[in-house]
Amino acid sequence: MKLLITGAGGQLGSEWVDFCQERGISFNSFTSSELDIYDVDKIENTIVSLCPDVIINCAAYTKVDEAEENKESAIQINGSAVKVLADSCKKHSIKLVHYSTDYVFAGTKSDKENNPEGYKEEDSTDPVNVYGYSKLKGEEAIKDSGCEFLLLRVSWLCGQYGNNFVKTMLKLGSEKKEINIVDDQYGAPTFTDQVVEQTFELIQQEKSGVYHLSSDGLITWYQFSKEIFKQKRIDVKVNPVSSSEFKTKAKRPFFSKLSTKKISNIERIQILDWKEGLQRLLAKL
């Protein structure tokens, strides 16, 4: 099996490159600057020359607040470019693995009450910001293309590469004695090492369709930060505050939990508790 990894410079793409190198998996990887997935000719030429069996698409526009002012760019990268990739995969009979987000859901308080274990794969989507809308456009393009696909939604993504909440907390913890963290947004972190391991297992088992990848548990950002500092033994006072105290350009969902019931029924896939996932990440950092 030969893999082609796009967006290899991001936190998820970098994790994929490490994974393949460590396990001796045949792969080619390109950063988003090296391979623009919106460029039809480049995609076609790359596929024809490399003949991958599976394309792992990690290329994405991920700046949630900036997307509000750069709607066209977000939709082009997360929607239109994904259509180009999906259409090429259909044409050449290549399986497409693509990552989406919890932000395709509305994340309302009533959804939390009705879905305490999290959103299921088949639940209705209704994004509340441009980023979520652009990712939903990518999902729709893949489904409409007719290609064989694995569509994997993740939430609160954290890993050893790139920028994420865990790294931000470690930086703040080293600089400040007191910080304020939102305590009214609920979800669970997804760790990149588990994402890659679980995705590869799904590929090996020739699974297709939509799956949610995340960790066990339901917490707020405040609870997440407290555990980060506890595990790292960093002495910093954390104050729980409401979202209204942090003005952001993009509206954030109140509830971001993804149900992992479907994927937990797959043989050889284990869903870790979020604290254990955090412990593994902190050990790498």
Q: Which of 86, 81, 90, 96 is nearest to 150 (CA)?
A: 96
Q: Which of 163, 35, 145, 153 is nearest to 96 (CA)?
A: 145
Known catalytic residue at 133: no
From the candidates 131, 133, 211, 222, give the one annotated as an active-site residue.
131
- Cα 215 from Cα 178, distance rounded (Å): 28
The helix/strand/coil state of 211 is strand
Burial of residue 70 (CB within 10 Å: 0-12, 13-18, 19+) is middle
Q: Which of 214, 245, 238 is nearest to 224 (CA)?
A: 238
- Cα 62 from Cα 181, distance rounded (Å): 21
Residues making up the chain, counted from first to last: 285
Enumerate the active-site residues: 131
